[in-house]
Structure 1
Amino acid sequence: MTDAAYSIAFPFGFAADGTTAEVGRADHVTDLLEQLLFTRQGERLLRPAMGCGLPDLLFAPASPETAEAARMTIQVAVLEHLAREIELTGLDVRPEGSSLRIDIAYRIRATGDAGHARFDAETGADG
């Protein structure tokens, strides 16, 4: 499938021709996941329930316990807020140094295409 322009890019920016930067559906899903993971609940005025609150882990140790708590929080948030866009097919959260490595595998519902996104969330210290 082609990944034609589907949505406005996040973060907002401009294309080389001066128009609003756009992204394809796959990049849009990655942008949605990033916004969901790194937004605290209550941070968005019109959607106060949206978010995972990974920034709240800043002072937590990068331990297996913290990784499991983050995994459960992410799973619930994706199911609650992005279920219309994607089907979660895999989720792995593991400590790496002083951060959590988050690998998310999914299927885009509209196209059936498989996708993968990787994020790192900084925590306080090595577990």
Structure 2
Amino acid sequence: MDIGFPYHVDSRGRTAQVDHGGHVRDMVEQVLFTTPGERVNRPDFGCGLLDLVFAGNSPELATTVEMTTQAALQRWLGDLLTVESLTVSSEESALVVQVTYALTASGESHSLTVRGGTPS
């Protein structure tokens, strides 16, 4: 078991824990939503999806986000997961990021969709 992110206390008053798959999902979200320069000891960590909230949506932006997201996930989580597919599309006013990955430890496949800055 790993510590849940963001840190919180469970119903027993102890540090909340998640299984390995949940922990890796939390770390994927951290990579996606951390802006490079935000972390003091790792200034190049993250890919900065939140910075794109007010950027003009276009197919060119989607392609750029796809490349930077793929690179960030490979760099920071390459030892924990293998990205099976990563698609970024611009749907009307929202940028949609879909990541499917396999855990290195178990081979389990997981997916995460971010639509307009909200993970689901």
TM-score (structure 1 length as normaliser): 0.86
Structure 2 runs not aligned, ≥5 long:
none
Contact kept? 1:55, 1:121, Cα under 8 Å:
no
Give SS of 1:61's match: coil
Q: Which of 79, 85, 102 lines up with 2:80 in the alignment?
A: 85
Q: Which runs of 5+ in 1 are unaligned?
A: 1-5, 123-127
The percentage of aligned residue pairs carrying the same residue is: 38
Paired residues for 1:10-21 under 5 Å? 10-21=5-16
1:30 to 25, 41, 44: 25
Match of 1:46 in 2: 41
Deviation of 1:98 (Å): 2.2
Counterpart of 2:103 in structure 1 is 108
| Alpha-carbon RMSD | 1.2
Structure with more contact order per residue of length (Cα contacts < 8 Å, sep ≥ 6): 1
> 2:4 maps to which residue?
9
Over 6 Å off, 4+ runs: none
Number of equivalenced pairs: 117
* Farther off after superposition, 53-62 or 72-81: 53-62
